[in-house]
Amino acid sequence: MFLKIKNLLFTQTAKDSAIVLSATLINVVAGGLFFIFVPRILGPADYGLFSVVILTTFALAAFANFGIDTGILRFFKAADSRTNQILKLALEAYLVIGIAIFIAGIFLSSLLANFLGQEVLEPLFRIAFSGLILILLTDFFVATLQARKQFLKASIVHVSSNIVRLSILFVAAYFFTVNLHFLTILFFAVYIISIIIGKGFVSFDFLSAKNHRLQIKSFFGFNFWIAASLAISSIPIDNYLLLMFAGATVTGIYAAPYKILTSLDQFAGNFSRVLAPRFVSFNTNSQAKEFVKKTIPIVLFICFGILMTVFAANPIINLLLGAQYTDSVLIFQIIAISYIFYFGNTIPVSLIIYYFGQSRTVFLITLMVKTVWAIFSFILIPIYQATGAALAHVIAAVVSLSLFTAYAVWRLQKK
Distance CA 89, CA 79 (A): 18
Run of H or E including 228? helix 216-234
Distance CA 128, CA 349 (A): 30
Distance CA 224, CA 104 (A): 20
**Residues belonging to the chain:** 415
**What pLDDT is stored for residue 207 in this prediction?**
76
- For the chain, the first-to-last Cα distance in angstroms comes to 32
Distance CA 61, CA 191 (A): 13
Neighbouring residues of 160: CB distance < 8 A, sequence distance ≥ 6: 193, 194, 197
pLDDT, mean of residues 41-61: 80
CB-based contact 255:238 (threshold 8 Å): no
**What pLDDT is stored for residue 10 in this prediction?**
45
- Tell me the C-alpha to C-alpha distance, in Å, between residue 307 and each of 166, 261, 311: 28, 12, 7
| pLDDT reading at 356 higher than 90 | no
Range of the domain at 85: 2-414
pTM for this predicted structure = 0.65
Domain total of the chain: 1
**What pLDDT is stored for residue 321 in this prediction?**
78
Q: Kindly report, residue by residue over 240-283, the tens digit of the pLDDT.
A: 888 888 887 888 888 888 877 777 776 777 677 677 667 777 77
CB-based contact 33:104 (threshold 8 Å): no
Which burial class, exposed, middle or buried, applies to 233 when counting CB atoms under 10 A from its CB (0-12, 13-18, 19+)? middle
Task: Assign 30 to helix, strand or coil.
Answer: helix
At 236, give phi and psi (nearest 5°): -80, 65
Q: Kindly report, residue by residue over 2-16, the tens digit of the pLDDT.
A: 444 444 444 555 555
Distance CA 208, CA 303 (A): 44
Distance from chain centroid for Cα 156? 17
CB-based contact 386:246 (threshold 8 Å): yes
